[in-house]
Amino acid sequence: MHAPNGTNSDAMEVIIYLIEYMMRIKSILVSQPAPSESSPYLEIAKKEKIKIDFRPFIHVEGVDNKELRTQKIDLTQYTGIIFTSKNAIDHYFRLAEELRFAVPDTMRYICQSEAIANYLQKHIVYRKRKISFGEKNFSDLLPLFKKFPSEKYLLPSSDLLSPDIVKTMEASNVDWKRAIMYRTVCSDLTDINIKDYDMLIFFSPQGIKSLQQNFPDFKQEDTKIGVFGPTTSAAAEEAGLKVDLMAPTKETPSMTMALEKYIKVLHK
C-alpha cells in the first residue's frame, strides 16, 4: 500500500488511500500469556511492524478440600486416575497433599497424550509406575479402558467438561467418577483499554465470556476478531461478534499461520 504521489493524487485516490490505511492492523491483543522469545507472533510483529500484546483473559483457580468433600469424593477409593491435562495433574496432587493422602505406587494412570503422561514426572517417580496414554483425542483411550476394566477410575477436571469425554466414558463400561478440582474463571482486565487494539484473538468460549464480563459496553465496530476452533467461533457469533479470522484450516493449521496470511492480504 503506497501513498498517492503528486502526479495522480486526486481527491478520490486520497480517500481510497486513507480508507485502506485505516483498515490496516497496527495493534493486536492475543488472549494468552506472553510466549517465549522464539514465538512466531514476535516474528510477525517484527516483519509487519505491528504491536502484538498478550494478556490471559481467563485463569484457573483450584477448589479446596472442603469443596471436594461436598462432591463426596474420597481419594482413597480409586485405583486409577484419568488425566486430560497438566492442570488436572497439578490439582489432583495438590489436593492429595492437602488431604494427606499418599498416592500409592500401585495407582494406574491413564493419560490423554504422551505429553501429559510425561508431565507426571513432576509429581511421581515415573519409572515402574502403571502409566498408559493415548494418541491425542480422548476417544483414543477406549482401548485402554478395555485393557484395564477392573480399576475404579477418578477423572479430575475443571468445571467445564467436554461432552465427548462423558460420551467416551459412558461407552467404556468402567467404574468412574468425575471430580471438579479446579475452575476456569474470567481474569480482571479492567486496566486495559480494549479499543486501543485493532484486533482481538481468542482461543476459547471462556475468553469471549471474559470480554463480555470485563467490557460490557464493548462494540466491535472496526475491531477485527480472530478465533481458534469452532466452539470459540460459535461463542463469538452468539455474543454478536463478526469473526474476521478463523483457525485452524487446512491451509493454516495454527493461529500464527492464519494471522500472518490475513495480515499480508490486508496490507498488500
**Higher confidence at residue 156 or residue 36?**
156
pLDDT score recorded for residue 16:
41
pLDDT score recorded for residue 9:
57
Residue 267 binned pLDDT confidence (cut-offs 50, 70, 90):
confident
SS (H, E, C) 129-196: CEEEECCCCHHHHHHHHHHCCCCEEEEEEECCCCHHHHHHHHHHCCEEEEEEEEEEEECCCCCCCHHH
pLDDT score recorded for residue 22:
47
Tens digits of residue pLDDT in 195-232: 999 999 999 999 999 999 999 999 999 999 999 999 99
224-228: strand order across its sheet: 51-54, 27-30, 199-202, 224-228, 245-247
The values of phi and psi at residue 131, to 5°, are -120, 130
Tally Cβ neighbours within 10 Å of residue 122. Answer: 11
pLDDT > 90 fraction of the chain, expressed in percent and rounded: 84
Distance between CA atoms of 153 and 80, rounded to whole angstroms?
A: 4
Residue 5 binned pLDDT confidence (cut-offs 50, 70, 90):
low
For the whole model, what pTM was predicted? 0.77
Query: What residues have CB less than 8 Å from 145, skipping those under 6 apart?
Result: 110, 153, 172, 173, 174
Contact between 238 and 229 under an 8 Å Cβ cutoff? The reply is no
From 27-31, 82-86, 146-150, 162-166, the region with the lowest mean pLDDT: 162-166
- Which of 124, 131, 114 has its CA nearest to residue 90? 124
Query: What residues have CB less than 8 Å from 204, skipping those under 6 apart?
Result: 58, 229, 231, 232, 235
pLDDT > 70 fraction of the chain, expressed in percent and rounded: 91
Distance between CA atoms of 88 and 119, rounded to whole angstroms?
A: 11
Report the pLDDT averaged over residues 86-96.
97
Residue with cell 468412574: 176
Strand 175-186, strand 58-62: pairing: antiparallel
Domains of the chain, by residue range, sit at 24-57+191-267, 60-185
